[in-house]
Amino acid sequence: MKKLLLQFLAILIIFYATWFALNSIDWMHIFNVEQTTKKTEEKLGDFYWDLLNKTESEIQSVEVVSKIDSLLDRICLKNNIDRNKIKFHLLKKDEVNAYALPNNYLIVYSGLIDECENEAELCGVLSHEIAHMEKHHVMKKLGKEVGLAVLISMTAGNGNAEVAKRTLKLLSSTAYDRNLESEADITAADFLMKANIDPEAFANFLFRLSKLNGNIPKEVFWISTHPDSEERSVKIIQHIKDKVIHKDSILSIEQWNSLKQEVNFK
């Protein structure tokens, strides 16, 4: 009995010693997983933007882009986000849509600006997409839906064009899971409050478009790919309830109206 007990103790000691030793090893460093993922993300972002750049028309007018830049600058400055890392591109397209690509590419369609009733609504959508970036949701979504091996293969030039187009469509026209969307909503509301932008406007935007019910035009991608918009609107209102919110304008009314007109003529 004593011998068995000693053998059991010896096995237990060996087990815990081995477990401790294995957990002390930086496997991520040894296999370069983190570095590989980062490099893959960088290559993917450039790869996807190259696809879009070849097929879509970008609005590069200084009069237009500078106004949106001023909104992004405020959001980033007040939330300690490096504005320089965000690669903003405005595409001439009637669809109401905006989405984040890997490596901090922020894609906005002119149709979104046309749909927003004020700068705070637009800032809400921009903040939501920046939240996806800051929370690393983009690569989480791609990793879950596609797999890291496929993504690495694409960036190495081994993936075919159809796979690339399908994965790009995954980011531009399909929803994140509910938990990621909720996290992006609440993070966006916090970003807005810190930037002295009214987060209720973002909630109103979601609610207003949700009232289209089942008659959502296919062009309104940002709502059709972000389901449960009414419920999400309510959660934002609950989150900001009883909080002191300072509201400052970034663009003048004239500048905002000018922006909406300009995106329709560029």
pLDDT per position in the chain (266 positions), as tens? 555 555 555 555 655 555 454 455 443 444 444 555 678 788 888 988 998 999 999 999 999 999 999 999 999 999 999 999 999 999 999 888 999 999 999 999 999 999 999 999 999 999 999 999 999 999 888 878 777 676 777 666 655 667 777 888 878 777 788 888 889 999 999 999 999 999 999 999 988 887 764 544 544 555 555 557 788 889 999 999 988 888 999 999 999 999 999 988 76
Q: How many CB atoms lie within 10 A of CB 58?
A: 14
- The closest of 83, 166, 95, 181 to 131, measured between CA atoms, is 181
Give the pair of three-digit tokens for residue 137.
């949701």
Dist CA 138 CA 103 (whole Å): 9
Cα dihedral across residues 197, 201, 203, 209: positive or negative = negative
Number of structural domains, the chain? 1
Domain of 243, in residue numbers: 28-260
Residue 76 lies in a domain: yes
The C-alpha R_g of the chain, in whole angstroms, comes to 23
Dist CA 97 CA 108 (whole Å): 6
Residue 101 lies in a domain: yes
Residue 265 lies in a domain: no
Exposure on the CB side of residue 112, measured as CA atoms within 13 A: 23
Q: What is the pLDDT of residue 32?
A: 45
Question: pTM for this one?
Answer: 0.81
In the three-class reduction of DSSP (H, G, I as helix; E, B as strand; rest coil), residue 122 is classed as: helix
Identify whether the C-beta of residue 142 lies closer than 8 Å to the C-beta of residue 133. no
Residue 9 lies in a domain: no
Residue 248 lies in a domain: yes
Exposure on the CB side of residue 75, measured as CA atoms within 13 A: 30
